[in-house]
């Protein structure tokens, strides 16, 4: 009974559940959940670990149930998300009822009003609210009382996490067990090499954007020596590509530069990409990151409308956005822009300006999602005050037909504009020609074909839903 299962549950869609996310992969991409990777390192020092990524391996709920029945697992640590809640909870209840195993969950919506879920759902034994902490180990071993990073039941009582030790500037954890994950099943369109995995350099976010739940997660940086041990270990495993899923890789410039310089000094020769913000990115970062192996940077642009952004506490102007994308292009770094369709206070004219802006930025890839009020975000709290029924709606997926409409635009029109954005951006002759010129190998040709086909499929599906 010393075996622990780390589970990314199956689903009718390719749900992305890591980093408290709630969406579905619409194109040909999927990556290992950093939550489970970190937990694999923390737990493997004390227990035998097994991993099931049911999405990546195309394993059904019945198959997961049979695997757990045949194995003497002490606990199942599973991901969940608001987009997949109903499917996930149905499986968790069966696992609890038929396998009598501890159910420990990690998911964005669970961090919002955590005691409610522990009280209302009998099959949930504990909820992780900080997967970088070791309290989960003590809980599985049977220790009671408050523990770091985890809420749990103790009879009729609900124990809250320790708070005194949870706020640290730096954190570290044992090396993640990357080799237990189906690395050959993961791919990203921007990746240069394979296999790929994910590595964390920070936790939480120092910014306070009202539309994002990451603002509620305390920002901490990972100890660089601890990070380098993991990067050297994955290099020995033959892993060549790393996706850094941190909310803002460049949030602390000094920390970022020190990491890049350490990677250069060690001669790791890893290929990697990351997420950043345009207002904490400059020429020095672009140059050093490129020298350290970075090839792609993802920026959250959201909207071209500065008033809309300011109302969401993301005070960024178009000049700063253009500058960041321009720095990447001059340094030879590819870019991915994230844009949100249907933000509060945004009308159709503003959305069309954002679509044009996305094309004008000349980014290599663009992701257009519909606005969703994430659990734990300030904007959700504000919207719930206006519409209490919103508290009972869970099925939020930023890549699906919208659940709420804006004050100016209907849900159907928001969805149409999202699909128009995809077509306008990706079907431009100039863009297609640029991507064709970037194809310099058979593997990149395969990636390009898969991306093009997935975009076409997404558009066909989108028209049906409209």
Q: With a cut of 70, say whether residue 165 has pLDDT above it.
A: no
Lowest mean pLDDT among 25-34, 300-309, 317-326, 344-353: 25-34
The torsion angles phi and psi of 244, rounded to 5 degrees, stand at -90, 110
Exposed (0-12), middle (13-18) or buried (19+): which is 283, by Cβ within 10 Å? exposed
Other C-beta atoms lying within 10 Å of the C-beta of residue 86 = 10
Instruction: Tell me if 76 sits within 8 A of 102, measured CB to CB.
Output: yes
Distance from the Cα of residue 414 to its chain's centroid: 23
Nearest to 294 by CA among 235, 239, 334: 334
227 DSSP assignment: H
Q: With a cut of 70, say whether residue 10 has pLDDT above it.
A: yes
Percent of the chain with pLDDT over 70: 95
Lookup: tokens for 224: 């660089």
Lowest mean pLDDT among 172-181, 310-319, 322-331, 455-464: 455-464
Scan for tokens 């930025």, then name that residue.
361
The pLDDT value given to residue 463: 53
The pLDDT value given to residue 466: 47
Q: With a cut of 80, say whether residue 451 has pLDDT above it.
A: no
- Mean pLDDT for 92-104 is 96
Scan for tokens 């493997």, then name that residue.
44
In which order are the strands placed within the sheet that holds 365-370? Answer: 196-198, 241-244, 271-276, 294-302, 334-341, 365-370
The pLDDT value given to residue 152: 96
Lowest mean pLDDT among 16-20, 75-79, 80-84: 16-20
Domains of the chain: 3-159 (3.40.50.280), 188-465 (3.20.20.70)
- Mean pLDDT for 349-367 is 94
Pairing of strands 294-302, 241-244: unpaired
Instruction: Give the whole-angstrom CA distance, residue 414 versus residue 406.
Output: 8
Instruction: Give the whole-angstrom CA distance, residue 156 versus residue 183.
Output: 41
Instruction: Give the whole-angstrom CA distance, residue 46 versus residue 44.
Output: 5
Instruction: Tell me if 383 sits within 8 A of 392, measured CB to CB.
Output: no
Other C-beta atoms lying within 10 Å of the C-beta of residue 243 = 22
- Mean pLDDT for 375-397 is 79
Other C-beta atoms lying within 10 Å of the C-beta of residue 39 = 27
DSSP bridge pairs for 78: 7, 105
Pairing of strands 126-128, 150-154: antiparallel
143 DSSP assignment: -
126 against 144, higher pLDDT: 126
Q: With a cut of 90, say whether residue 254 has pLDDT above it.
A: yes
Question: Is residue 153 very low, low, confident or very high in pLDDT (cuts 50, 70, 90)?
Answer: very high
What digits encode the pLDDT tens for the residues 19-53? 888 787 777 789 999 999 999 999 999 999 999 99
Instruction: Give the whole-angstrom CA distance, residue 319 versus residue 309.
Output: 14
Percent of the chain with pLDDT over 90: 67
Q: With a cut of 50, say whether residue 166 has pLDDT above it.
A: no
**Cα three-residue angle 127-131-133, rounded to 5 degrees:** 105
The pLDDT value given to residue 89: 97
What digits encode the pLDDT tens for the residues 260-278? 999 999 999 999 999 999 9
The pLDDT value given to residue 380: 83
The pLDDT value given to residue 49: 96
Lowest mean pLDDT among 69-78, 340-349, 431-440: 431-440
Distance from the Cα of residue 318 to its chain's centroid: 25
Assign 204 to helix, strand or coil.
coil
Q: With a cut of 80, say whether residue 245 has pLDDT above it.
A: yes
Nearest to 150 by CA among 286, 24, 43: 43
The pLDDT value given to residue 407: 82
- Mean pLDDT for 202-213 is 87
Instruction: Tell me if 373 sits within 8 A of 396, measured CB to CB.
Output: yes
Q: With a cut of 90, say whether residue 355 has pLDDT above it.
A: yes
Instruction: Tell me if 180 sits within 8 A of 49, measured CB to CB.
Output: yes
Assign 159 to helix, strand or coil.
strand
Instruction: Give the whole-angstrom CA distance, residue 77 versus residue 399.
Output: 26
The pLDDT value given to residue 167: 55
Instruction: Tell me if 151 sits within 8 A of 126, measured CB to CB.
Output: yes
Q: With a cut of 60, say whether residue 128 has pLDDT above it.
A: yes
| Average pLDDT along the chain | 90
Give helix then strand counts, H and E, for the chain: 15, 18
Taking the alpha carbons of 201, 25, 305, 358 in that order, is the dihedral positive or negative?
Answer: positive
Question: Is residue 465 very low, low, confident or very high in pLDDT (cuts 50, 70, 90)?
Answer: low
The torsion angles phi and psi of 74, rounded to 5 degrees, stand at -80, -35
DSSP bridge pairs for 276: 299
Q: With a cut of 70, say whether residue 96 has pLDDT above it.
A: yes
The pLDDT value given to residue 97: 96
Question: Is residue 412 very low, low, confident or very high in pLDDT (cuts 50, 70, 90)?
Answer: very high
What is the maximum span of the chain, computed from C-alpha positions, in angstroms? 64
The pLDDT value given to residue 462: 58
- Three-state helix/strand/coil letters over 114-141: HHHHHHHCCCCCEEECCCCCCHHHHHHH
Assign 158 to helix, strand or coil.
strand
DSSP bridge pairs for 5: 50, 76
The pLDDT value given to residue 424: 94
């Amino acid at each position: 009974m010393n075996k622990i299962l780390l589970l990314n549950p199956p689903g009718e869609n390719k749900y992305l559940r890591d980093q408290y996310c709630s969406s579905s992969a619409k194109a040909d991409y999927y990556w290992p959940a950093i939550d489970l990777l970190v937990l694999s390192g923390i737990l493997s020092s004390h227990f035998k670990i097994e991993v099931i990524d049911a999405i990546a391996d195309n394993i059904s709920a019945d198959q997961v149930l049979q695997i757990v029945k045949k194995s003497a697992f002490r606990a199942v640590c599973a991901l969940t998300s608001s987009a997949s809640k109903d499917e996930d909870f149905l499986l968790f209840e069966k696992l609890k009822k038929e396998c009598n195993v501890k159910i420990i969950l990690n998911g964005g919506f669970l961090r919002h009003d955590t005691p409610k879920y522990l009280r209302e759902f009998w099959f949930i034994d504990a909820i992780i609210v900080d997967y970088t902490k070791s309290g989960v180990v003590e809980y599985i071993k049977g220790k009671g009382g408050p523990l770091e990073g985890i809420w749990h039941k103790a009879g009729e009582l609900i124990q809250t996490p320790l708070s005194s030790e949870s706020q640290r500037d730096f954190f570290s954890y044992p090396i993640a067990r990357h080799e237990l994950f189906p690395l050959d099943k993961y791919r990203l369109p921007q990746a240069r090499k394979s296999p790929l995995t994910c590595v964390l350099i920070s936790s939480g976010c120092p910014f306070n954007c009202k539309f994002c739940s990451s603002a509620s997660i305390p920002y901490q940086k990972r100890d660089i020596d601890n990070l380098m041990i993991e990067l050297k270990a994955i290099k020995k495993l033959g892993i060549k590509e790393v996706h850094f899923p941190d909310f803002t890789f460049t949030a602390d410039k000094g920390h970022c530069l020190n990491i890049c310089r350490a990677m250069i000094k060690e001669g790791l020769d890893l290929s990697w990409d990351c997420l950043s913000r345009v207002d904490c990115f400059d020429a020095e970062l672009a140059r050093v990151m490129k020298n350290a192996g970075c090839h792609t940077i993802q920026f959250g642009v959201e909207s071209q409308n500065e008033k809309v952004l300011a109302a969401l506490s993301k005070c960024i102007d178009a000049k700063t956005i253009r500058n960041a994308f321009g720095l990447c292009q001059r340094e030879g770094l590819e870019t991915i822009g994230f844009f949100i369709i249907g933000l509060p206070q945004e009308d159709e004219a503003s959305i069309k300006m954002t679509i044009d802006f996305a094309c004008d930025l000349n980014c290599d890839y663009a992701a257009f999602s519909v606005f969703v009020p994430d659990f734990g975000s300030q904007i959700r709290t504000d919207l719930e005050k206006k519409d209490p029924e919103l508290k009972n709606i869970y099925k939020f997926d930023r890549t699906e037909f919208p659940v709420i409409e804006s004050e100016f635009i209907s849900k159907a029109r928001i969805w149409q504009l999202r699909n128009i954005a995809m077509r306008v951006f990706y079907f431009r002759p100039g863009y297609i020609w640029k991507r064709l010129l970037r194809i310099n190998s058979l593997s990149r040709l395969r990636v390009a074909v898969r991306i093009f086909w997935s975009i076409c499929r997404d558009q066909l599906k989108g028209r049906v839903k409209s």
